[in-house]
Every structure is written in C-alpha cells, then in structure tokens.
Amino acid sequence: MENRAQWGSRVGFLLAAMGSAIGLGNIWRFPAVAYESGGGAFIVPYLFALLTAGIPILILEYTIGHKYRGSAPKSLGRVSKGFEWIGWWQVTIAFVISTYYSVIIAWAIMYSYYSINLTWGDDPTSFFVGDFLNLADPGVFGGFVPKILLPLLIVWVITLGVLSKGVKKGIEVANKIFIPTLVVLFLIIVIRAVTLEGAADGLSSFFTPDWSRIGDAEVWVAAYGQIFFSLSIAFAIMITYASYLPKKSDITNNAFITGFANSSFEVLAGIGVFAAVGFMAFTYNTSVTDLAAEKGVGGIGLAFMVFPEIVSQIPVLPGLFGFLFFASLVLAGLSSLISITETYVAAVSEKFNISRVKSVVFGGGLAALISLAYATRGGLNLLDTVDHFINNFGIALSGLFQVVALAWFARGLKSYQSHANSVSDIALGAWWRISLGVITPIVLGYMMLQNLNNRIS
Ligand code: PHE
Ligand code: NA
C-alpha cells in the first residue's frame, strides 16, 4: 500500500479532477438544462444543489480516497466489508458510460476535421438521417461499421495509452496539456460568439430569470441531476483520483476549487452557446425562443446539428470557429473519458492483482469493443436509451447508496469530518453533515421515486 502511485503536485491533481468534471456535460448539457429550467432563476436551485450535494459529496469522496487509499471498491470495502459492492456498482456504471462517451468524442473528432472545409454538406441536420455518419456509404466492413471507426480508434488509443503510462506520467501529464489548452480554445470561441450579431438577444434569453419555475420540483431535480453528472460524483471517479493524493494534501479546499472551476466553465459554455444561438436567430430573422423551441439547444442535436449550421453562417473564418468548437469538445471529452476509464482500470487491477497495463488492455479493450455497437446503424438509438437509463437510474441510485451507507452506517460522518479537517485549510461544520445525512438522501430518494413513477405510468 505504501508504494501506491501518487500525483506529482497539487496542481496536477486539481487539473486531473477538473479534467474529469469539465466535459461534454458542461458544454452541451448545462446550457440547455439552465435554459429550460428558468434561465437566470436556475441559479438558485443550481447553487443550492452545488452547496448541499455537489461540493459536500466531492469532499466525502476525496476523504474516502485519501484516507483509505484504494480504488472505489477497495476504499469502500475498507470502510466496511459490506460496502464493497457499492464501489462495484459505480465501477459498472463508469464502464457503461465509457462505452458511449467515447463514441461522442469520436463524432467530435470527425466534425473538427469536417469543419475545416465545412464539408458536412448543405444540410447539417443530415446527422440524424445518417448521411453524415456515412452509414449509407460503403464505410468499413461492407457498410456495417461506418467511417467513425478511425476516430473511435484514435479516442481509445489516446485514452488507453495515457492510462497505461500511469498516474503521474500519464493522467497528470495529459491533463496538464489538455485543460489549459481547452480553456484557451474555449475563451476564443466565447469571445468570437459574443461579438456576433444577435448575441445580445441570445444572452438575454439565457439569463432572463423566470421566477415562476422556482417552485417546480422538476427544476430542483434537474439542478441536482446536472450537478451529479457534471461534477463526476457518485461514479467512483473522485474516490479513485483522491486515492493517489499524498498524505499531506488539502481536501476541502481542493473540493471547492474543483466545484467552482467546473461551474465557471458551465456558465462560460452557456454564454458561448447562447450567444451563438442568438446569432443564428438573427440570421434567420426569428426570435431566440422560437429557434430554441424548434431546434433544441442541448445534447447531441446542439453539438452536431445546430452548431454546424451556426458555423456555416459565420462571416469570417467559419472553419476555424467550427474547428475550435469541436476540438474543445474533444479535449473536454477525452479528459473525462480518461477518468471514467481509470475508475475500472484501477478497480480491476487491484482486485485481481494484475498490472495496470494488463488491466488497461482487458478492461479498456472490452469497452472499446463494445463501443463499436454505437457506431452501427441503430447506434444512435441505442446510445440514447443507455444514456437515459444511466442518467435516470444509475446516478441517483449510486449516489443514494453511497451517501446513505457512509452517512448512516459504519463509521458515520463525524469520523470523515475529522479526517478532512485534519488536513484541510477550511474546517467542515454541521452544514456538511446535514447536507449529506439529510438533504441529499431526501432529494435523491425523491428523484428515484419520481423516475420509477415515470417509468410505470
Ligand atoms: N463530468 C463529465 C461531464 O460533465 C462527465 C462525466 C460523467 C465524467 C461521469 C466522468 C464520469 O461531461
Ligand atoms: Na462537468
């Protein structure tokens, strides 16, 4: 246990944690969720969720990883023998996410490439029809596997290559390159977007608060869902990353830094996306509201249909704008995929006592093979279904298991609190215990019931 791999520096750890958090969820999920959940008014449930669930759980996961120094199943198993399965449940979810997250990054690679000459054709909406993905094309293997194969291979080679190099030389180095580059690229995009004609209208529809929504349970559930996915919590990832922290490392402060960095990036993405949507509305001589209703402003549709359309209309250097946008998606996505994959790579290598490289080859290799399924003809539907299931059941359930187990059973929150306080600048108080022991379980329990109810009815 003593020769466990370690981060080379605090900044290295922070960049890796931010790399995990900042991902596709920030760029295409947040702007849409916020817009549909009250615009500027969403700030209230969002901040509440960040401060009562997001950051408290992040602190809890950092504490567990730091104190018990193992992958998620191992660390949770060290807290109490009966908790190991929670770690495996989370590891399984991480595995499933990695199989489709990788495909989305592969699309983004294709789109960065096609941006250069705007070769997505006259009809950017062809994405869903299948032309763009070349499904109708001979592709590879007689058309069964489309041209997505090469970018997908690139995604997995980078991810598994980085992971096989280990924590300090692989994950840390990759994030030290990816995250600063991402921030610079994204700032260029945002600056360009807000200087486009119509941008102001886009921003005002994004930020104008609709206070009538604030009493809506749905809006609160959306805020919690966004925080969980966006901060990569309840996936065992942050436990794994924190298990590589040196003994003397701040926990609480690092959690606040990670949380606020991630949220800042979400707001930045919201500004960029809605400025661009405002520009599009201007070009079409319509209102942002109508446009958003017609086209949708989130998810795969935003990135691969709305954005190409916007890019094609940019007056100067459209190809460059498109390239920067899709390259940002690639960087944000890769740094998250690395963290998701590390979760099961570490767990499998510790459980079966095999080397990191072997675990990368078996675990990562299997995920890469499965990811091919989403690149086939029915792939997009499959992806949608799996993603929906993960978001509605996987996350809430694993968050609930973890928080309830740790807060109500075994050692209890006071013992983690004193561990965190013994190494951190900021001292945790009752808000932390109340958030984790009471507020979060209630909200997650409610989310579960509501999901079940939707399922049945
Ligand atoms: N937090 C990442 C995002 O916002 C997504 C993610 C989910 C990463 C789960 C790791 C695990 O896109
Ligand atoms: Na995120």
| 357 domain residue, yes or no | yes
pLDDT value at position 135?
40
Ligand 1 atom with the smallest distance to the CA of 23 is 12
**CA 446 to ligand 2 center in whole angstroms:** 23
Per-residue pLDDT at 68 exceeds 60: yes
Ligand nearest to the CA of 258: 2
Find the range with the poorest average confidence among 97-111, 174-188, 341-355: 97-111
ipTM comes to 0.96
Over range 206-223, report the average pLDDT: 92
Per-residue pLDDT at 118 exceeds 80: no
Query: Distance between CA atoms of 138 and 118, rounded to whole angstroms?
Result: 22
Find the range with the poorest average confidence among 155-164, 274-283, 332-341: 274-283
Is the Cβ atom of 337 under 6 angstroms away from ligand 1? no
Over range 7-15, report the average pLDDT: 97
> What SS3 class is residue 95?
helix
pLDDT value at position 138?
45
Query: Distance between CA atoms of 46 and 51, rounded to whole angstroms?
Result: 9
pLDDT value at position 125?
55
Query: Distance between CA atoms of 20 and 318, rounded to whole angstroms?
Result: 29
Phi-psi region of 121 (alpha: psi -120 to 50; beta: other; left: phi over 0): left
Q: 346, 69 in Cβ contact below 8 A?
A: no
Per-residue pLDDT at 11 exceeds 90: yes
Give the percent of the chain with pLDDT over 70: 92
Q: 97, 85 in Cβ contact below 8 A?
A: no
Positive or negative, the Cα torsion across 255, 256, 257, 263? Answer: positive
pLDDT value at position 121?
54
pLDDT value at position 127?
57
Per-residue pLDDT at 454 exceeds 90: no
pLDDT value at position 301?
75
Residue whose CA is closest, atom 11 of ligand 1? 232
pLDDT class for 131, splitting at 50, 70, 90?
very low
Is the Cβ atom of 232 under 6 angstroms away from ligand 1? yes
pLDDT value at position 160?
98
pLDDT digits (tens, 9 = 90+) for 24-57: 999 989 999 999 999 999 999 999 999 999 999 9
Over range 345-353, report the average pLDDT: 97
Ligand 1 atom with the smallest distance to the CA of 333 is 12
Residue whose CA is closest, atom 6 of ligand 1? 232
Q: What is the pTM of this model?
A: 0.92
Find the range with the poorest average confidence among 136-140, 302-306, 316-320: 136-140
The owner of tokens 């954005």 is: 307
Higher pLDDT, residue 329 or 135? 329
Higher pLDDT, residue 318 or 391? 318
| 77 domain residue, yes or no | yes
Pocket test for ligand 1, best of 20, 186, 264 (most atoms within 8 A of CB): 20
Q: How many domains does the chain have?
A: 1
Over range 62-83, report the average pLDDT: 96
Give the percent of the chain with pLDDT over 90: 70
Ion ligand 2 residue ranges (Cβ < 5 Å): 21, 23, 25-26, 230
pLDDT class for 449, splitting at 50, 70, 90?
confident
**CA 52 to ligand 2 center in whole angstroms:** 17
Range of the domain at 378: 10-456
Per-residue pLDDT at 382 exceeds 90: no
- DSSP code of residue 195: T
| 3 domain residue, yes or no | no
Any residues with CB less than 8 A from the CB of 248 and at least 6 apart, and which?
Answer: 423
Is the Cβ atom of 97 under 6 angstroms away from ligand 1? yes
**CA 104 to ligand 2 center in whole angstroms:** 15
| 5 domain residue, yes or no | no
| 336 domain residue, yes or no | yes
Taking all residues of the chain, what is their mean pLDDT, rounded to a whole number? Answer: 89
| 1 domain residue, yes or no | no
Over range 270-281, report the average pLDDT: 94
Query: Distance between CA atoms of 95 and 366, rounded to whole angstroms?
Result: 10
Higher pLDDT, residue 453 or 403? 403
Find the range with the poorest average confidence among 252-261, 294-303, 445-454: 294-303
pLDDT class for 199, splitting at 50, 70, 90?
very high
Q: Tell me the CATH number at 347.
A: 1.10.4160
| 404 domain residue, yes or no | yes
